[in-house]
Amino acid sequence: MPEPFKQKPRPEGASIGQIFVEDVKRTHFGRDYGQELKQLYYFYLDAERRDKLAGMGRIRRSISMIAWLLKSLFLKLSPTRRLMLVAAFLATIAGNTHLDRVTIDFRPIGFLLLLIVLMLELKDKLVAKDEIAVARQVQIALLPRAHPDIPGWEVWSYSRPANDVGGDLIDYVELDGFRHGIVLGDVAGKGLGAALLTAKLQATLRAVLPDIVTLDDLGRRVNNIFYSDAFDNRYATLFFAQLEHNSDQLRYLNAGHNPALVIRSDSVEKLHASSYPLGMLADAEYEEGAIEMQPGEIMLIYSDGLTEAFNDQDEEFGMERLEAMLPELRSLAPAEIGAHLLRTVEDFMGGVRPGDDLSLAIIVKR
């Protein structure tokens, strides 16, 4: 599985001047800073505030947005750092102050206090980054090492987190000597919290699968385990495909996931969800599905990072664009299908950093 987005390493021993010049070369100012400002907007302002801003006039909106951004920033700091930020602000306002016959310029003090706050926040980020790097190594270790060799079928998959760790799950499970399970799950949210629940989902599936007779039962048991743990606003969608060696039949369970697409010779069939996501409702019922696939037919399973990818114009890739591509995929091998989909989505995004995890599982009947 591929590594997440990373910047190219800088040459060792580079001077500050060389680093600055390299930063200028790498940065697309309009696009990159536009994305940074947009991230600030969505991070510091909740949906309610954004809705209120949308209904204001231009001048009032600008003033309110700045005030709310500063307030949100202020409240997210620790008490000590809040006091330092206030002191830096007051020192900057004081500027040159005349005391008796002495003039004191407080602005350097304000700058120094602000720099200390920035250094403390950066220290926290770097400590967290080291911990997330370890979590990423664990998550990579839990991913499949290779695609399975299933007589009569060909399988390929891909997963790319939006951040260093993600909430998508790709897994292959050998059920017995003649059946395999293909898993694509998507835990609500992203980042470290979602990654931890992804590991829990994988462990839960592997624990209950040996005793499962029907996929209805798989959905019920995993749902009850997730729901009993009572994670607030945390749930997982799941598409589970069960392949029998040298068979034309594929059994599946779609628990609140995006519809899988079956690309036939003259049509496309959608396998919609038959129940709620896992962990959303107690005692939810789940329904197993089954389809017949002929040689050359393709099943595409994907997470919403594919259809909900955005470009720099805030346009969504969407189902219409995906469905328009499907006829082009019929003659391609699974790895070629995946590469074509990913290349098309990346071209559409135009360098915009992904906002969600993206995973694909492609199954072809041979």
Residues of the chain with CATH 3.60.40.10: 146-365
**How far from 303 is each of 149, 170, 200, 216, CA to CA, in Å?**
23, 10, 18, 22
Three-state DSSP state, 287: coil
Question: Could you say which architecture CATH assigns to the domain 146-365?
Answer: 4-Layer Sandwich (3.60)
CA angle (1 as vertex; 130, 234 as ends), nearest 5? 65
With 80 as the cut, is the pLDDT of residue 285 above it?
A: yes
Confidence (pLDDT) at 303: 96
The candidate with the shortest Cα–Cα distance to 267, out of 239, 247, 294, is: 294
240 contact partners, CB below 8 Å, separation of at least 6: 181, 182, 183, 205, 215, 218, 252, 253, 255
Go through 182-201 and write b for each residue having 16 or more CB atoms within 10 A of its CB, e for each that does not. bbbbbbbbbbbebbbbbbbb
With 80 as the cut, is the pLDDT of residue 29 above it?
A: no
Instruction: Identify the residue with better confidence: 42 or 240.
Output: 240
CA angle (152 as vertex; 184, 176 as ends), nearest 5? 65
The residue count for the chain: 366
Confidence (pLDDT) at 10: 53
Q: Which of 23-32, 34-43, 173-182, 235-244 has the least mean pLDDT?
A: 23-32
The order of strands in the sheet holding 153-160 is: 153-160, 358-365, 298-302, 260-263, 268-271
pLDDT digits over 77-87, tens only?
999 999 999 99
Residue 77: Cβ within 10 Å count: 15
CA neighbours closer than 13 Å in the CB half-sphere of residue 186: 26
CA 149 – CA 147 distance, rounded (Å): 7
With 70 as the cut, is the pLDDT of residue 36 above it?
A: yes
Residue 354: Cβ within 10 Å count: 21
Residue 213 tokens read as 């007779």
Quote the pTM value. Answer: 0.78
